[in-house]
Structure 1
Amino acid sequence: MDTLIKGADIVSMFCRININTRNNLPIRSSEMGLLIFINQSEEPPSSREAVEFFKVSKPMVAGMVRSLEKKDYLKRGDSPDTNRRFTLLLTDKGKKLVEETTGEYLKSMAIMREGLGVEDYDTLLTLLERANTLMLEEDKNHLSRTTKNR
């Protein structure tokens, strides 16, 4: 049990440190992630693609889209694909924010890569990917069990 508590403390501190380094953004960290995702996409993505990429709920992405639209960081574009109602596009204000803050937003990753070394940094990312997969699978299994018990 002690190792579980220690692990929870370590992960919790890691998350707090990363969140605190991003407090100077004019938007939430999750919203900044969405802007970066849109900016990095070859074609304007749909909300559904954002849901799939971030592994979050549709209402969560819809809330981010509404918030970013109100703040004039993104807009909805017409979709040539009939399966998508609209695409997500950065406004000039959104593009400027991404350009000005991406370096700061990714600064903690660069610090870790330099401090840990490339091999340990790659190992960290591999382990985090595995942990994310495990937790997402458990979440999906929990939701499935909850739905069956209704």
Structure 2
Amino acid sequence: MKESIMDSRDVVSRFCRLQMNKKMAIPIRASEMGALIFVQKSEDKVTPLMISNFFGIAKPSVTDMIDSLIKKTYLIKIPSKIDRRSYTVEVTGKGYELLESTAKEYLKTMDLLEEKMGDQKFSLFIQLLQEANELLSEE
């Protein structure tokens, strides 16, 4: 394997580890926060399948996340009128409060990167990540 690929793998792995190991002062797991943000930002009614597809994770994992967020009263489940097995989820008032109170903490890393890299480099960084995400999503 090419040395540049090995070096690239190490750089990406370290970046991911730094993000994953970062302690955030939030009362829910980072994955649950991601789902909560997804539901909040979506213009459509959100189903578990939409969350599964967006994050590229198995539907049972999404169901566990949703159940946890419902139990903690950050989300509510809205049963489908057409198919009683289907449902959508919505953010509760408590969920919106959490999102508002933790927005700065959750986005601190991106703010730091933008500040230290400068607008031009940060914009390029985000564009390249978007392109990489699209390429990896095709597989």
TM-score when normalising by structure 2: 0.83
Alpha-carbon shift at residue 93 of structure 1 (Å): 2.4
SS at match of 1:89: strand
Separation (CA, whole Å) in 2 of partners of 1:45 and 1:53: 11
Alpha-carbon shift at residue 43 of structure 1 (Å): 4.1
Alpha-carbon shift at residue 108 of structure 1 (Å): 0.8
Aligned-pair Cα RMSD in Å = 2.1
Q: Match for 2:35: what amino acid?
A: L
Separation (CA, whole Å) in 2 of partners of 1:79 and 1:63: 19
Alpha-carbon shift at residue 101 of structure 1 (Å): 0.5
Separation (CA, whole Å) in 1 of partners of 2:106 and 2:24: 10
User: Percent identity of the aligned residues?
Assistant: 39
Aligned length: 137
- After superposition, the C-alpha distances for 1:102-144 in whole angstroms (9 at most, x for unaligned) are 1110111111112212221121112112222232333xxxxxx
**Mapped contact 2:24–2:106 kept (Cα < 8 A):** no
Alpha-carbon shift at residue 62 of structure 1 (Å): 1.3
SS at match of 1:107: helix
SS at match of 1:16: helix
Separation (CA, whole Å) in 2 of partners of 1:22 and 1:97: 16
**Mapped contact 1:73–1:91 kept (Cα < 8 A):** yes
Alpha-carbon shift at residue 76 of structure 1 (Å): 0.2
Matches within 5 A, 1:1-150: 1-79=2-80, 82=82, 85-138=86-139
Q: Match for 2:29: what amino acid?
A: R
Unmatched tracts of structure 2, length 5 or more: none
TM-score when normalising by structure 1: 0.78
Alpha-carbon shift at residue 19 of structure 1 (Å): 1.9
Judged with a 3 Å threshold, the aligned counterparts in structure 2 of structure 1 residues 25 and 130 are, in CA distance, closer, same or farther, namely same
Q: Match for 2:64: what amino acid?
A: G
SS at match of 1:106: helix
The more displaced of 55-64 and 122-131 is 55-64
Q: Match for 1:131: what amino acid?
A: A
Unmatched tracts of structure 1, length 5 or more: 139-150
